[in-house]
Amino acid sequence: MKIKELFNEALREHKKVINGIEAFYPAIEAIASQMSETLGRGNKIMLCGNGGSAADAQHIATEFVVRFRGDFNRRSLPAIALTTDSSLLTACANDYGFDEVFKRQVEGLGNEGDLLIGISTSGNSPNVYKALEYANEQNIQTILLAGRDGGKIAEIAKYSVIIPHKDTARIQEAHITVGHILCRLTEELIFQINP
């Protein structure tokens, strides 16, 4: 049956990703620590990406604002996806070009001490690059979730988690898993709860 074959193929590829991402475990722990410190001092997390990565940015932001685990009721944590305001995105793209749509929002919404997560399967999205570049100049912590070799954005992000795979679907599946792990670890650090 084709469906079962596709599930089995995905599982085989996920195992390869898990083996390849072990080198990034220390970075994931450091990012969770940085996220908990950012939120603990009253700053916010911003996220950006294109296409499926835009959806991942929205998904992760929602986990912070609403809650991650259904069995743990906690206060809302400040996070915003820079991918959701269609009026802003289209106005900025029209007036300044699509490469500026995230940078412009970081300029208007970001503050020193905030944290920006850029998500790019290739690691080369120009609008994500410009947003992280600007964030670095403003003392906003920069995180990259990427695939393949990390692309040029990996050169400027303070922390990177690079999924060592070429297939966009596998990279995106791993990104949301990493996002969920970061949400859980951050919650545990902020609220001092046991796993």
Of 2-16, 132-146, 155-169, where does mean pLDDT reach its minimum?
2-16
Q: d(Cα 21, Cα 150) in Å, to the nearest integer?
A: 12
Q: Tens digit of pLDDT for each residue in 142-158? A: 999 999 999 999 999 99
pLDDT score of 95: 98
Q: Tens digit of pLDDT for each residue in 36-68? A: 999 999 999 999 999 999 999 999 999 999 989
Collect contacts of 70-77 with beta carbons under 8 A, ≥24 apart. Answer: 72/187, 72/191, 72/193, 74/187, 74/191, 77/39, 77/45, 77/186, 77/190
41 secondary structure, DSSP code: T
Q: d(Cα 46, Cα 62) in Å, to the nearest integer?
A: 11
Measured on CA atoms in the order 79, 81, 85, 90, is the torsion positive or negative?
A: positive
Q: d(Cα 62, Cα 141) in Å, to the nearest integer?
A: 20
Q: Which domains does the chain have, with CATH numbers?
A: 2-191 (3.40.50.10490)
HSE-up of 53 (CA within 13 Å, CB side)? Answer: 21
